[in-house]
Chains A and B, each alone.
Chain A
């Protein structure tokens, strides 16, 4: 059933998100052409300068849009599909509430990672004039050697920890919104305001907890004196903290959507 939920989630979200990817692609091509023309011929002079101006503005906007608008679309989808009238359809499917949340989270992560990759690829296409595989892979190898030396041979661990942390951070940003919406839907007639309120409230609580944690564990962080502590102490702690917070968000979201569902 999760497979079918994923299929329909993908279908519902790609209607809005695919066009943004297409726009970014078109602006990338357009700017690539303009850059090429301008460098070799200097043809955009005087009033014609407006053309590359518009093209680059559009490009920057579509770079922002692919990250920001995609995120907003995914959040609105969760809110609308589960707490508005559409909830009557979704919550009477023969699936568990956590499968609904799982399908939303997985597709959200899919689009977010894809949008980040699209931004990197687009910048790469636009500003790499002549792709020299030797130079490219050479500099990557050099960077790798630097990291290996810095971490006394623990470069693989360092890279894995960074990737895990980034993924957990992205999951965290969605789950914090999901749990806020699950709390917000409890307020009849004020679901949206309730959701925003819950989000702000959670952030306040987190800030207080973080302040306390820093005060208490300050000693631990002061004892950082070796760069290797980053891989053996700093990232492991960060990862555990994110795992715990994400687990709490997930559990509360499922509990509220199963036992305290409040469709109008």
Chain B
């Protein structure tokens, strides 16, 4: 009923490496979920499958009951872990682009956020630093009223001060109807905003639980638990 995403026995291989193996999970609306795992654990592969950039080798994945395609892309707002906007565009061009293709995009929200972060819309992306580009991308993605946000490493490249602003943006900009999936390994920074966590290790889900449950049962912060589970 409240499920936005469901996947069953999802498997994805790259030549002979298994990136995801038999992953089953359900995401509920109204939750902020952390997808936590070390580098190379399959976080990005899972998110790419959700966005139709990869096709699974086995298993099923449904967003709002539908297979990834134009219908699901309309309601999923995706932030890749890449700088993916064409370099020649001005910030204002990217806003026009999003407005043209996404019905749920609100240009006013985007302009407000640009102003708050003191970014001039007439600047070309070419002239921006990597961190600033990531801010622009996050502003575009969070200015949509989507049903599911997939944020792949949203705070990796930005300074701590901007991190706080971005996390606040994520909390304040989504509605109860939406789920936010945040993949990261910077857990300490992001822990306070999470409702649920998913631990992923070597392509398999090892834990899915609410943050409150973990704190009660284990008596530990997510960061501490993560360090224990993924100890090298």
Contacts and interface: CB of A to CB of B under 8 A. Distances in A.
Interface of A: 1, 4, 7-8, 12, 15, 81, 85-89, 91-96, 258-261, 263
Contacts of B102: 94
A95 B52 CA distance: 11
A4 B54 contact: no
Contacts of A8: 97, 100
Contact of B78 (A86, A92, A95): A92
Contacts of A4: 100-101
Given A85-B82, A88-B78, A91-B52, 15 more contacts: A7-B100, A85-B84, A88-B80, A88-B84, A89-B85, A92-B51, A92-B53, A93-B101, A94-B73, A94-B74, A94-B101, A94-B102, A95-B73, A259-B55, A263-B53
Contacts of B74: 94
A96 B70 contact: yes
A7, A260, A263 — most chain B CB neighbours (10 Å): A263
B212 interface: no
A261 B68 CA distance: 14
Nearest to A93: B101
A88 B53 contact: yes
Chain B's interface size range is 20 to 34
Nearest to B71: A94
B222 to A, nearest CB: 28
Contacts of B88: 12, 15
Contacts of B76: 92
B125 to A, nearest CB: 11
Interface in B67-113: 69-71, 73-74, 76, 78, 80, 82-86, 88, 97, 100-102
A89 B140 CA distance: 11
Top 5 A-B pairs ranked by shortest CB distance?
Answer: A88-B84, A94-B74, A88-B80, A94-B73, A94-B70
A87 B74 CA distance: 17
B83 A85 contact: yes
A12 B86 contact: yes
A232 to B, nearest CB: 44
24 contacts: A1-B70, A4-B100, A81-B86, A85-B83, A85-B84, A88-B53, A88-B78, A88-B84, A89-B84, A91-B52, A91-B53, A92-B52, A92-B73, A92-B78, A93-B101, A94-B70, A94-B71, A94-B102, A95-B70, A96-B69, A260-B55, A261-B53, A261-B55, A263-B48
Contact of B82 (A1, A88, A95, A261): A88
Contacts of A260: 55
Contacts of A15: 88
A96 to B, nearest CB: 6
Nearest to A86: B86
Nearest to B76: A92
A92 B78 CA distance: 8
Contacts of B71: 94
A4 B84 CA distance: 19
A95 B100 CA distance: 12
Contacts of B101: 1, 4, 93-95
A91 B54 CA distance: 10
Contacts of B82: 85, 88
Nearest to A80: B86
A5 to B, nearest CB: 8
Nearest to A3: B100
A135 B167 CA distance: 75
B84 A93 contact: no
A92 B70 CA distance: 8
Contacts of B48: 263
Interface centre among A15, A86, A92 (most CB of B within 10 A): A92
B108 to A, nearest CB: 20
Nearest to B80: A88
Contacts of A96: 69-70
B95 to A, nearest CB: 13
Given A8-B97, A8-B100, A94-B74, A261 B54 contact: yes
Interface in B23-75: 48, 51-55, 69-71, 73-74
A244 B210 CA distance: 56
Contacts of A261: 53-55
B73 A93 contact: yes
B202 to A, nearest CB: 20
A259 B85 CA distance: 23
Nearest to B96: A8
A95 B103 CA distance: 13
Contacts of B84: 85-89
Contacts of A93: 73, 101
